Amino acid sequence: MQTFLKGRRVGYWLSEKKMKKLNFQAFADLCRKRGIEVVQLDLSQPLEEQGPLDVIIHKLTDLILEADQNDSQAVLLVQRVQDYIDAHPETIVLDPLPAIRTLLDRCKSYQLIHRIESCMQDERICSPPFMVLNTDCSPDVLEQIKRQGLTFPFICKTRVAHGTSSHEMAIIFSEEDLNDVKPPCVIQSFINHNAVLYKVFVVGDSYTVVERPSLKNFPAGPADRKAIFFNSHNVSKPESSSDLTTRENVEGVSQPPNDDVIRELSRSLRQALGVSLFGIDVIINNQTGQHAVIDINAFPGYEGVPEFFNDLLNHITSVLQSHSPDFTPASEQPKSLPVSTTVPNAAPPAPGCCSMLGKEASGSPWIVEGDGGLKGPRQRLGCNTAMSPNFQQHCVSTIATKASSQ
């Protein structure tokens, strides 16, 4: 395996903030110990001069958003990356730019989740209805909200799922509250979930589930109270403690997510988009016990995932293996290379965006990872990267608190 990896080149582009947050230099050092050359890409220079590249790791979300808003410099830099990718189809990209565009648009990602759920036909999953508000509140808008199956209270979010404003949200309790919201934005029915959010951090065919605080339960139906504006980044911090996250009114079902459901959701998203580095925000409906996906994030922060670098290196190794007939089998890997303790699936996935494997016959595969992390089993997935059209940024008005983007 050392012979196989020696000389392989991994290029990466991350913001300085992202590199510091992840301590990415530690990953670069881990790669170099395995004989992999790690190169920090300079997008201001031609990438051909910085190649050849076997793998590209990136978080170009800021640049993609700026490019989609016709920033000429961002357009040039993003196009430079895409041109290199088009010229070198053998290069593995984590993750494809069209897929990132889909994940950056909450409307498109919610539509995808609902299609996946329809395809899976699993009664254990029922994500909340949603719609895009493009105009101010009116009788026609209220009628459309009813037709879409949304009920009070609901959450109002920015359409763009990245950046400082993307964490700024509002809980809308009544028709009157809608006057406090500036369209365009996305609204999504609120589901009581006993103030617990499960963040699923996916790295290739491995994932970790981390428990976080979340919004408390609210009575169903319209209420005579003012909208609550909040910052989701602050609410769901591991140490968060406030009146919004109190668990004093916990009732009904309180249980962790089912491993089969999480495995199938993450697999289906990977197959539909061809992505490897993403997060899924899942809550458990305290009335039905059903799983609800409320957000999907491109290349999240991986807080509470102590094995992130090992999982990422294992994924890169695995993908490179699929491109090389001379790869050393995993059973012959040296012990110095950390390997996940999770178990592989016995069968490959069937074709199709929502194909599912048979459920594991063994006991629960959850493994405690520390900091509340639960490790799920590995799966092998297919890819299908469909192009998504551009979109513009949307925001909720009059929210003072700002959170840093990843």
134-145 pLDDT, tens digit each: 888 888 889 999
State residue 57's pLDDT score. 97
Q: Using an 8 Å Cβ cutoff, are 60 and 15 in contact?
A: no
Which amino acid, residue 362? S
State residue 309's pLDDT score. 96
Residue 396 clears pLDDT 70, i.e. is over it: no
State residue 322's pLDDT score. 83
Q: Beginning with the edge strand found earlier in the chain, give each strand of the sheet holding 37-40 in spatial order.
A: 37-40, 9-13, 55-58, 92-94
Which pLDDT band, with edges at 50, 70 and 90, does 192 fall under?
very high
Residue 307 clears pLDDT 90, i.e. is over it: yes
At CA 377, angle to CA 376 and CA 379, rounded to 5? 125
State residue 294's pLDDT score. 96
Residue 389 clears pLDDT 60, i.e. is over it: no
Give me the percent of the chain exceeding a pLDDT of 70.
79
State residue 325's pLDDT score. 56
Which pLDDT band, with edges at 50, 70 and 90, does 56 fall under?
very high
Q: Distance of CA 193 to CAs 27, 101, 216, 246, 380, Å?
A: 36, 29, 7, 12, 31
Q: Using an 8 Å Cβ cutoff, are 103 and 275 in contact?
A: yes
How many other CB atoms are found less than 10 A from the CB of residue 31? 23
Q: Using an 8 Å Cβ cutoff, are 355 and 380 in contact?
A: no
State residue 3's pLDDT score. 61
Q: Distance of CA 204 to CAs 11, 78, 311, Å?
A: 17, 24, 8
Residue 375 clears pLDDT 80, i.e. is over it: no
Average pLDDT of the chain, as a whole number: 81
Residue 92 clears pLDDT 50, i.e. is over it: yes
Can you tell me the mean pLDDT for 191-198? 96
Q: Using an 8 Å Cβ cutoff, are 311 and 377 in contact?
A: no
State residue 138's pLDDT score. 84
What six digits make up the tokens of 99? 């897929």
pTM for the whole thing? 0.79
Closest CA to 161 of 212, 214, 233: 233
Residue 251 clears pLDDT 50, i.e. is over it: yes
pLDDT tens digits for 35-52?
Answer: 999 999 999 999 999 989
Report the SS3 class of residue 175: coil
- Sequence-distant (6+) residues with CB within 8 A of 116 are 265, 268, 269, 272, 353, 354
Can you tell me the mean pLDDT for 103-129? 95
State residue 6's pLDDT score. 78
pLDDT tens digits for 312-368?
Answer: 999 999 999 887 755 443 334 343 333 333 323 223 333 333 332 222 323 332 322
Sign of torsion over alpha carbons 178, 184, 188, 190: negative
State residue 321's pLDDT score. 86
Is the pLDDT higher at 165 or at 213? 213
Give me the percent of the chain exceeding a pLDDT of 90.
66
Interaxial angle between packed helices 308-322 and 24-33, expressed in degrees from 0 to 180 and rounded to the nearest 10: 50
State residue 363's pLDDT score. 31
Residues in the chain: 406
Give dist(CA 209, CA 305) in Å, integer. Answer: 9
State residue 378's pLDDT score. 37
